[in-house]
Amino acid sequence: MSGTARDRPPGPGPVPPDPAATGPAGGDPAPEGTTQPLAGVRVLELASFIAGPFCTMLLADFGAEVVKAEPPGEGDPMRQWGVHLDDGRSLWWPVIGRNKKSVTLDLRRPRGQALARALAQRVDILVENFRPGTLERWGLAPADLHALHPGLVIVRISGFGQTGPYRHRAGFGSVAEAMGGLRYLTGYPDRPPVRVGLSIGDTLAGLFAAYGAVVALREREARGRGRVVELGITDAVVAVLESVLTEYSRLGVVRERTGNILPGIAPSNLYPTAEGSWVVIGANADSVFARLCRAMGRPELAQDPRYATHTARGQRQQELDELVAAWTRTLPRAALLALLEEHGVPAGPVYTAADVAHDPHYRARGTVREVQDPAFGRLLMQGPVPFFDGGGGAIRWTGPPLGAHNEEIYGGWLGLGAEELRALRAEGVI
């Protein structure tokens, strides 16, 4: 998958294993003689904010050598972003910058553009998320890069994509979530649409972009040439609309906001407990509903014509939800969940960040990991997924300091000497 990247120096030295992995699924070091799935793949990240960096984080988690080029001085804005900061420092950067190498590079300067072209000839994948036309203005158009390196896979992420009437518009994930139809479906019918509490549009785009990059690498093995992989954040949001568009095209139905329920799917909702917390129960299949009825001590409900079939339950959704809620609020959460587990009814509590952090299941699998960060010390963060037998994703290091790998990359990859690096720094190019 990496056969056409050029002039590779020896790879970096060994790094310590992820200290929080506790089993094969959690990403323990691979058995001797095995490597991470994307080991040997080189990636140049010319991206900022979320979508592009999330794409490259996914690739880096599975062994790709990702070099992130950042503007000198401030670097990627993600170094300052986050809902909550620690003494002004981002707690998002250690996650989205993990496993990457940072170099400084001013792409607006001709010498910076020349360095980018040189770096692009030594990687397998280039990822960018600028507005369409930006690479072209910098002399980094795909045709120009492919003339230098025909095997290069170029991944382009933007608000609306490289084609179409909206291609030149500025676009953030929030706009894409709205125009992709997701915001309209989120919330309650009697209130305005709301956002998910995360940058879901950007991360969906990053996920699809990483998928596209790996597909293009696989194709390159047979074709011998790299492709341009491009998507808008809007495309990624529309791609997960399930049957929303087909419902409209066939029936003329516009799906509306429904809060915590899907109309006609019952019982499947949030239900209260005795201490005022909430539990999700999904028991809409006939067999599962029968098990729920037994857990409730009401086995006859499964045979009651009002509730015996999927259609009947959907027609009496509110009535059935009230009946289930009247039962759940008599039990403490722990007792309720234990009873539902005993009867094989899918159920779970609504977790906060603290609950996720301390859940033993997530710790055992490596879904949540504790890592060492040079600036913050011990940090919890989400681990790489999916899991592979024999070695998969790993957190080798957290987001590095700005420009920490300038000497390694410019010296090792491009052969620049100390004097030339000093001159580039003095000019503000790196």
34 three-state secondary structure: coil
User: Nearest-CA neighbor of 382 among 164, 58, 85, 13?
Assistant: 58
Contact 51, 57 (CB under 8 A): no
Q: What is the residue whose two structure tokens read 């309209």?
A: 184
User: Nearest-CA neighbor of 95 among 381, 409, 414, 369?
Assistant: 381
Contact 79, 88 (CB under 8 A): no
CA-based angle 44:152:413, to the nearest 5? 50
**Alpha helices in 329-359, H assignment, sequence order:** 333-342, 353-358
Residue 146, Cβ density class (10 Å: 0-12 exposed, 13-18 middle, ≥19 buried): middle
Contact 159, 132 (CB under 8 A): no
From the candidates 61, 106, 124, 202, give the one annotated as an active-site residue: 202
Catalytic residue list contains 202: yes
Tell me the sheet residues that pair with 197: none
How far is the C-alpha of 203 from the C-alpha of 197, rounded, in Å? 13
Pairing of strands 153-158, 125-128: parallel
- CA distances (Å), 254 to each of 6, 237, 315, 395, in order? 52, 17, 19, 43
Pair of tokens at residue 265: 């799917």
Pair of tokens at residue 140: 């980094």
State which H helix or E strand residue 317 sits in.
helix 317-328
37 three-state secondary structure: coil
Tell me the sheet residues that pair with 278: 272
Pairing of strands 65-70, 42-46: parallel
CA-based angle 367:368:372, to the nearest 5? 130
Catalytic residue numbers, as ranges: 202
